Amino acid sequence: MLKLYSGDLSPYSAKVRMQIYAKGIEDIELERPVGFGTTDWWKVSPIGRIPALELPGGDIIPESEVISEYLEEVYPTPRLLGATPRETAAIRAVSRLADIYLLNNMFMLSGQTRKSTRNEGTRDLLAGQVVRGVKALEHYIDGSPFAVSGRLTLADCTLVPALFMIENVLPSADVDDPIPGQAKVSSYWAGIQQNEHAAHVLVELHRGLEERRALIRAMAAKEKA
């Protein structure tokens, strides 16, 4: 049995979970790693991040993109890449845009939401990259409910958590959500949320965000007391 180390609010984990749901894979166990956030977890997966895929025997594959490609090979149907090299390149381009330019910057921006500890220069640098990425995305999709090829692909699996982070976390850093300003991106975003596999990970992401916010509120109350 394979095991995916994952967390509700981890957008990179959500990307792999959406792929697992869309492929109907039922023999991968989902688990939050014991010791995540401490060096104990680094002993299991030296990159120290989630998701990580554990193979039988304890071999660990890190990095969402690498795990996704591994799963595409092990569970080839339904195929979430293209039917031709060009179609696959179109899917990979959107997935990579969402990963490198949206998710990576959003992940770092999530440390800039608290006003009292925020560095405005860092916030502006990261937010500027996110806005630039959303404007670029407008040129790679047509506004229909799937990003590429008129069907669910790995591009959607990466975009859904990325757009969730932008819509829900960027305003907490006092930056306007750029999605409504891009017609095709906002029409895509409204459409893909109706997809059952996207809806499934969005429930998990919202649950994770609520838990995180409750924790922050509890810590603030403790500090005040």
Q: Which residues bind ligand GSH (CB under 6 A)?
A: 10-12, 48-51, 63-65, 107
* Residue 100 or 179 with smaller CB distance to ligand GSH: 100
The helices-and-strands tally (H runs, E runs) of the chain is 9, 4
- 193 close to 167: Cβ distance less than 8 angstroms: no
Query: Minimal distance in Å, beta carbon 51 to ligand GSH?
Result: 6
Q: Which of 187, 188, 184 is nearest to 159 (CA)?
A: 188
* Residue 129 or 182 with smaller CB distance to ligand GSH: 129
* Residue 33 or 145 with smaller CB distance to ligand GSH: 33
φ/ψ region of 29 (left if φ > 0, alpha if ψ in -120 to 50, else beta) reads beta
* Residue 12 or 164 with smaller CB distance to ligand GSH: 12
Query: Minimal distance in Å, beta carbon 110 to ligand GSH?
Result: 9
Query: Minimal distance in Å, beta carbon 172 to ligand GSH?
Result: 16
Position with the least CB separation from ligand GSH: 49
Sheet bearing 28-31, strands edge to edge: 28-31, 2-5, 52-54, 60-62
Q: Tell me the one-letter amino acid at 55.
A: L
Which phi and psi angles does 58 have, rounded to 5°?
95, 0
* Residue 49 or 123 with smaller CB distance to ligand GSH: 49
Query: Minimal distance in Å, beta carbon 168 to ligand GSH?
Result: 14
Helix 64-74 and helix 154-169: axis angle, to 10°?
150
Query: Minimal distance in Å, beta carbon 150 to ligand GSH?
Result: 26
E-assigned strand segments in the chain: 2-5, 28-31, 52-54, 60-62
